[in-house]
Structure 1
Amino acid sequence: MKQPCANCPFRKSIAYALSPEKAHDILQAITHDKAFHCHKTVDYSESHEGRVTVESKLCFGAVLFLENTVRGGCRSNVMFRFGLISKEFELNDLRKEESVYQSFEEFLEEVSY
């Protein structure tokens, strides 16, 4: 994983519609040591909420978002630190020019319907 997927909810160029509650839940999770997985790697076959599997990968858009918005970046989240330790991604892989949201306010304003 070297960049957010083409339709990552953290990319500015994507018209992504989340309920305000879901958008807040995502931010609450990633700022409180919860993992946030790429939606393309979550199993949605049985539920619209999805199920994380052993093949699920951390959301690289969330990694970049944390790097842009939170003191300590992605290392501020224990689950993303595990991702670094397990070599799921490396800090050298971060392409900071990726067009991801630069603030919580911007994310909430743009993705909420």
Structure 2
Amino acid sequence: MKCVKYIPIITKDKSTRVRVSDVQAIERDNRKLKVITAEEQYEIYGKIDDVTDYLDSRFYSCMAGCIINLDQVEAMEEREIEFFGGYNMVMGRENFARARHAYNDHIRNGS
């Protein structure tokens, strides 16, 4: 795993970087990835595996094509994940149960 503190966002129109700590979730949408922060959503072409090297133990793969930052989760309730800043994500029962278990461990252990 690389020790990089940002994810490069390179598109035809824009080149920037997003701090890993600011990332709330990364979702696959066909051939694109949505890198979601509290302020903005970035779309880049690629695969989930292209960004996993930039991530650390705060990130949890809650389902195929979706990774969440457990540090950015404000609450989890009734199959809905609420992130700081107001972004919400709804998921299926089994995926939610696994994600909530990981979140509970994360907040209990303070990691």
Between structures 1 and 2, the one with greater helix share = 1
Greater relative contact order, per chain length (Cα 8 Å cut-off, separation 6+): 1
**TM-score in terms of structure 2 length:** 0.33
**TM-score in terms of structure 1 length:** 0.32
